[in-house]
Amino acid sequence: MFDKLDDLVHKYEDIMNELNEPGVADNQKRFQALMKEQNNLSPIVEAYQEYRKCNRDIEDSLAMLDEESDDEMREMLKEELADARKRTEELEEKLKILLLPKDPNDDKNVIVEIRAGAGGDEAALFAAEIYRMYVHYAESRRWKVELVECEEIGIGGMKSVTFMITGQGAYSVMKYESGVHRVQRVPETESGGRIHTSTISVAVMPEAEDVEIEINEKDIRIDVMRASGNGGQCVNTTDSAVRLTHYPTGIVIYSQTEKSQLQNKEKAFALLRAKLYDIEQQKAHDAEAELRKSQIGTGDRSEKIRTYNFPQGRVTDHRINLTLYEIDKIMNGDIQEIIDACIAADQAAKLSKMQEIA
């Protein structure tokens, strides 16, 4: 591990030297690649530098203890030694996590697709609430949210909604939301006061670039039409809505949220690329079934990942056996504690897997 860390420090120093060269920003593509690599390496290098400093402190404290005869000074040195050893252990664990293989999609923007499942109108209402939950969460991270596609019902619910989240590391966080979300509550339309169970599905896809997914024009049919719906931003009075049909997969994309036909077309193609890229990713996951099983919530889309029980005010994430009695905060977008727990569990599973292999 330490040989690898030394190599990364040398690499980091080379990058910093190149960034300090005059005219480096003239080549924007190279400059951005260097900046990205520098940002990725900085946390590792900083942790390793602190680790080495703690080791030097341990050596210094041990040497001074051998020479020191004053009892009070010896006690102080022993405390410093204990603190340095504890911090060294913490940093070693941190470095192991930082050196875990990184998902190449982690830095990408995401396209999120929410669909109402079992439960009729109640499922559609819950889908709209989960959409708002993610919008609030994205806003708390200062990420940008763009609506791509929505199918509303008259009582404020959504049969389906697709939106893009643009922000640094969006996929690294949002990927843990993929799966089936279950709600248990008494619907407003239920006169008998019985608790109903409804479900929605959430799919989180990394945004795919043109170079990653090549779309043959012969495989696409593009139709333009007038937008329709229940009103608001999903409707306008010109032929600006765009529908894409991808013949090889049968995927149909409908985009109508923008007033410009060109903008709707761009959004539709972005969603199609993401869906095609996601198909390839799912094939790779299926081919590496054992790896997929060792990860938290980034595989099977049919997996029931979370239950929102309104009568008891609790939210339970079934993958990590986490229950929080803060449903109001969570529905208002405060989901960071759940995501942090998923990330920690995922890292622990990967570390365990690596130790088994070693």
pLDDT the model gives residue 329: 96
Average pLDDT, the chain: 84
95-109, 124-138, 291-305: segment of lowest average pLDDT:
291-305
DSSP 248: T
pLDDT the model gives residue 284: 65
pLDDT the model gives residue 287: 54
Calculate helix-pair angle for 28-67, 2-19, nearest 10 degrees.
Answer: 130
- Is the pLDDT at 184 greater than 80? The verdict is yes
pLDDT the model gives residue 299: 42
Find the helix or strand (DSSP H, E) in which 66 lies.
Answer: helix 28-67
- Tokens 């900083």 identify what position? 46
Q: Which domains does the chain have, with CATH numbers?
A: 2-98 (1.20.58), 110-348 (3.30.70.1660)
- Is the pLDDT at 121 greater than 60? The verdict is yes
pLDDT the model gives residue 143: 95
Give the Cα separation of 204 and 229 in Å (integer): 25
Are residues 344 and 330 in contact, defined by beta-carbon separation less than 8 angstroms?
no
Kindly state the tokens that stand for 345.
């569990």
Give the Cα separation of 318 and 306 in Å (integer): 6
Task: Annotate 256-291 with b (16+ C-beta within 10 A) or e (fewer).
Answer: bbbeebeebbebbbbbbbbbbbbeebeeebeeeeee
What does the pLDDT look like over 25-78, one tens digit per residue?
Answer: 888 888 888 888 888 888 888 998 988 998 998 988 898 888 878 888 888 888
- Is the pLDDT at 211 greater than 80? The verdict is no
What does the pLDDT look like over 277-328, one tens digit per residue?
Answer: 888 777 766 654 544 444 454 444 567 899 999 999 999 999 999 999 999 9
Name 237's Cβ contacts closer than 8 Å, sequence gap at least 6.
226
The string of DSSP codes covering 120-172 is HHHHHHHHHHHHHHHHHHHHHTT-EEEEEEEEE-TTS-EEEEEEEEESTTHHH
